[in-house]
Chains A and B, each alone.
Chain A
Amino acid sequence: MATPLTINIGRLTQIAGFELVRMFLTKRGLIALAAFALVWLVILRYPIGQAVGIISSPDFEQIARDISGSIGLSKLLDWPEAEFAMYWLIALYSFPVFSLFICSDQTVGDRERGTLRFLSLRSTRFEILFGRFLGQLAVLTCLVGITLIATLAVLGFRDPSLLAGGVGRAVSIFLILIVTFAPFVALMSLINTFASSSRLSIVLAILYFTAGGIIVGLLEWQIPALSTLDYLFPGVQIEQLAGQNLPLLSALAIPLVQTAVLLVVAQRVFARSSL
């Protein structure tokens, strides 16, 4: 049901904050966190812990190409903080996939259960949608922050003299990563407005990237002018971003515009949907 776009910051904050509670203070959230921590312990122990050896290896360029399909990763070799170079690549490619999973139940579960009916008598649909989006982004922000701090610790353990430069590097990586991941969360916000379960949301997101990618690829093959359709996909810039070959403005503007568009479409669908 379409209602005027009303935003109350207090309600928005409450809704976003409740997502953090959902992630960090429920059994299901804690199990997901434990799995995440275990995976990252392995990542910190091996690829990041041994980053200096890996990155200085002549095979690194080939490995990186195999992992990301990208070229021009040579700029990463210049980073004295090799751990962050490795973190950057792993985080840039793993968090988007991870975010599709952890953000798969923003509103769909509550809609199916009827809980959204209680909420919609106390907050506008936009507040619910945007609040949940912000909450999920906050969860991702916490997880990225924790992994970055852990990487910084690994770096400090190897060479304490790199810590000062490492903090600055960590902050810039943190900001770019959060902006980069935002459209993935927004995509799940949109899919949640019409999917009937969180599992279906994940399936639809995978289909969007795979089948959608094939269709757009075919269209672009027939009509090269349609190459702008690539921007329909969150993460379109990641390949260039991985090698630090994208201007900072583009690195920030592309995901921010994608996020805004996805949220506007999500709001329009959500405002008209039945609860």
Chain B
Amino acid sequence: MKSLITGRNLSKSYGSKLALNNVNFEIQKGAPVALVGPNGAGKTTLFSLLCGYIAPSMGELEILGHKPGSAALFNKVSALPQDAQLDPRFNIDKQLSFYAKLQGMSTKQSHVEALRVLDLVGLSEIAKNRAGDLSHGMRKRVTIAQALIGSPQIVMLDEATAGLDPIHAREVRELVSQLSDQATFILSSHDLTELERLCSQVLHLDKGVLSEHQTKAVNTDKHFYTLMLSDVYQNVEQQLQALEGVSRVYMSQHKEYVIEYQPTGDPLDIALLQFCRQHNWQYRQLVNGHTLENQIFKQEKL
């Protein structure tokens, strides 16, 4: 399969500070891709490179076979850059229509498109409001709407749900999920649970160095379960260790246990749930494999 995005030996430095260090990656068409990492890890720098806002110090970056920022990518690549705002003096529909017209739509089509994308983010009623009159969360959703104008093949959302209340953050996640068969989304967020739900490929940046993780399927080969309990119970590790096939149990964080096991004839997940029931342990979640948070936390601690 031909890659949508390819980065080779990509580095970016600001003066003496190396923000990205020899990063290599490929993104294929398909499920959303997550870009995670601590503050200052280089996520926004990588987003800015992908959008063509800045040039790499070294290395090559290609999107759909073109350099970022190339006119050939207009209408194919869209983005929500972090902290970018619409002009506060204009009506929302006027600005979105203007962007749609730049993407080649007629005046009439552009108005219809502006209302369509506003409707997607649940804001069609504020089309005539000025950007400056909206709340932070509404402004964020409008900027997400601008990224959905037309039919982009790649949509990059940098911290799309940051600053949104839980209900609207969930709506944005559902929107991404709905549209992910039409476009490949690249998402950055600090909410790892959110990314774990949406994405199968995770690009993890730390101190400018990139590594990859898988959130689904592949984890099952590693023979781990992560059990999250609702309450604190005595000797959980020792008691779980006694189960057949379990080779190691440790507490990854408060009320959360990672169970390493060797596959035997009986499925361990069923046995685990039965064990919880027998001991009257209330459990919250059983994850097949490591949680993304644990994978990343472990790596950053190394």
Contacts and interface: CB of A to CB of B under 8 A. Distances in A.
Interface stretch (A77-85, A112-120, A143-151): A112-120
Contact of B54 (A3, A11, A123, A275): A275
B48 A27 contact: no
B151 interface: no
Interface stretch (A14-22, A96-104, A205-213): A14-22
Contact of A18 (B52, B98, B104): B98
A121 B74 contact: yes
Interface string B78-94: 11010111110110001
A214 interface: no
Interface string B97-122: 01101111000000000000000000
A57 interface: no
B53 A123 contact: no
Contact of A118 (B77, B89, B146): B146
Interface string B55-70: 1000000000001111
Nearest to B98: A18
B79 A121 contact: yes
A22 B70 CA distance: 27
A14 B106 CA distance: 11
B202 interface: no
17 contacts: A3-B52, A10-B104, A14-B98, A15-B102, A21-B90, A26-B90, A28-B89, A114-B81, A115-B84, A117-B84, A118-B81, A118-B86, A118-B143, A120-B52, A121-B51, A121-B79, A122-B102
Nearest to B94: A21
Per DSSP, are chain B's interface residues mostly helix, strand or loop, or mixed?
loop
A115 B87 contact: yes
Contacts of A124: 71
B62 to A, nearest CB: 14
A117 B79 contact: yes
B54 A274 contact: yes
A81 to B, nearest CB: 40
Contact of B87 (A27, A110, A275): A110
Interface of B: 48, 51-55, 67-71, 73-75, 77-79, 81, 83-87, 89-90, 94, 98-99, 101-104, 143, 146
A8 B87 CA distance: 23
Given A1-B54, A122-B74, 16 more contacts: A1-B55, A1-B69, A3-B67, A10-B104, A14-B102, A26-B89, A110-B87, A113-B84, A115-B84, A117-B79, A118-B86, A122-B75, A122-B102, A123-B102, A274-B48, A275-B53
A33 to B, nearest CB: 14
Interface in A1-59: 1-4, 6, 8, 10-11, 14-15, 18, 21-22, 26-28
Interface of A: 1-4, 6, 8, 10-11, 14-15, 18, 21-22, 26-28, 110, 113-115, 117-125, 272, 274-275
A119 B74 CA distance: 10
A6 B55 contact: no
Given A3-B70, A26-B90, A117 B102 contact: no
Residue from the set B55, B69, B73, B85 with the largest chain A CB neighbour count within 10 Å: B69
A110 to B, nearest CB: 7
Given A1-B54, A114-B85, A123 B69 contact: no
A275 B74 CA distance: 17
A190 B146 CA distance: 28
Q: Which 4 residue pairs spanning A and B have beta carbons closest together?
A: A114-B84, A122-B102, A275-B53, A1-B55
A26 B75 CA distance: 28
Contacts of A21: 90, 94
Contacts of A274: 48, 53-54
A114 B83 contact: yes
Contacts of A1: 52-55, 68-69
Contact of B89 (A3, A27, A119): A27
B144 to A, nearest CB: 12
B53 to A, nearest CB: 4
Contacts of A114: 81, 83-85
Contacts of A27: 89
A14 B74 CA distance: 15
Contacts of B98: 14, 18
B65 to A, nearest CB: 15
Contacts of B84: 113-115, 117-118
Nearest to B54: A274
Nearest to A114: B84
A274 B15 CA distance: 14
Contacts of A10: 104
A3 B69 CA distance: 7
Nearest to B152: A121
Contacts of B83: 114
Contacts of B89: 22, 26-28
